[in-house]
Amino acid sequence: MRILITGIGGTIGTVLAKDLSRDHDVKGIDIRPVDRPGAVVADLTDAAALPRAFDGVDAVIHLAAERRHGREIGWDILHPRNVVATANVYDAAKAAGVRRVVFASSMHVMGGYEEAEPYRSIAAGRYAGVNSAKVALVSGDMPPRPDGRYAVSKIFGEQLARYFADWEGLEGVVVRLGTISEADRPGSDPRSFVSWFSTRDVAGLFRACVERPGIKYEVVYGASANTWKIYDTPYGWRVLGFTPQDNAEAFRSAGSRQ
């Protein structure tokens, strides 16, 4: 396939380009120059700059976005980068006859659920009295509960994916991403043991997102096979035919396991 990655110069884009290039024709867009063949510089808010990059593409992985999600980040930043740019990507994909768009969303669109038990305790690392195998996981079809403006901007992208799948014939996979780090290990905070997404699992899941046949529209959660879960990652593994390789518990000190 010919695959276009927006934000190809970022942490995730670099990982995916390296992996997918093994057996697909990968090109990319980034707002800054990227030292990679087939990568072009373009601002996704400029719709007129996009058609040539999308020509002949089979699948798009849309990663480019404003990633900061603090409460202080305002619409002046989020609207052009996460709303206008995403709308332009979907319009360009449709116009070019792209088969599928994989949209990088975020677990933050459901972050409000983490204020309720048992999720609050799990996110805080308070595991006493909680059976990790019996937690009712937050599924992809539950109503969104965004925890900030950033999350709201990602819901817009998810709904674009839904619209284009239902009415424009453009297949869509929404990946609500967890925590990806250049160190490729969970952070020191307890929540990262829920949301950690290893580099090789990132590559494997996104590969499945573009290669798996028979998908019209799906919402999946992006995290490794971590013992402690809040979100229904196993659903995505089943529909995508993907088997994660890593578990955050491998990095937890023996004294902190409960």
Please, are residues 225 and 200 in contact by the beta-carbon 8 Å criterion? no
> Residues 127, 150, 221, 231: which is the catalytic one?
150
Is 150 known to be catalytic?
Answer: yes
Averaged pLDDT for residues 11-30: 96
Work out the percent of the chain whose per-residue pLDDT is above 90.
Answer: 92
In tens, the pLDDT along 86-134 reads 999 999 999 999 999 999 999 999 999 999 999 999 999 999 999 999 9
Distance CA 150, CA 48 (A): 26
pLDDT of residue 70: 75
* Domain parsing of the chain, residue ranges: 2-256
Mean pLDDT of the chain: 95
Work out the percent of the chain whose per-residue pLDDT is above 70.
Answer: 98
Averaged pLDDT for residues 200-208: 98
Q: Is the peptide bond before 118 cis (omega within 30 degrees of 0)?
A: yes
- Residue tagged 């740019």 (tokens): 85
Name the fold adopted by 2-256: Rossmann fold (3.40.50)
pLDDT of residue 256: 44
Distance CA 185, CA 193 (A): 9
Task: List the structure tokens of 124.
Answer: 């805080």
Q: How many CB atoms lie within 10 A of CB 69?
A: 18
Please, are residues 171 and 226 in contact by the beta-carbon 8 Å criterion? no
Which has the closest alpha carbon to 203: 18, 5, 38? 18
pLDDT of residue 37: 86
Averaged pLDDT for residues 180-188: 93
Torsion sign, CA atoms 224, 89, 67, 63: positive
Please, are residues 106 and 150 in contact by the beta-carbon 8 Å criterion? yes
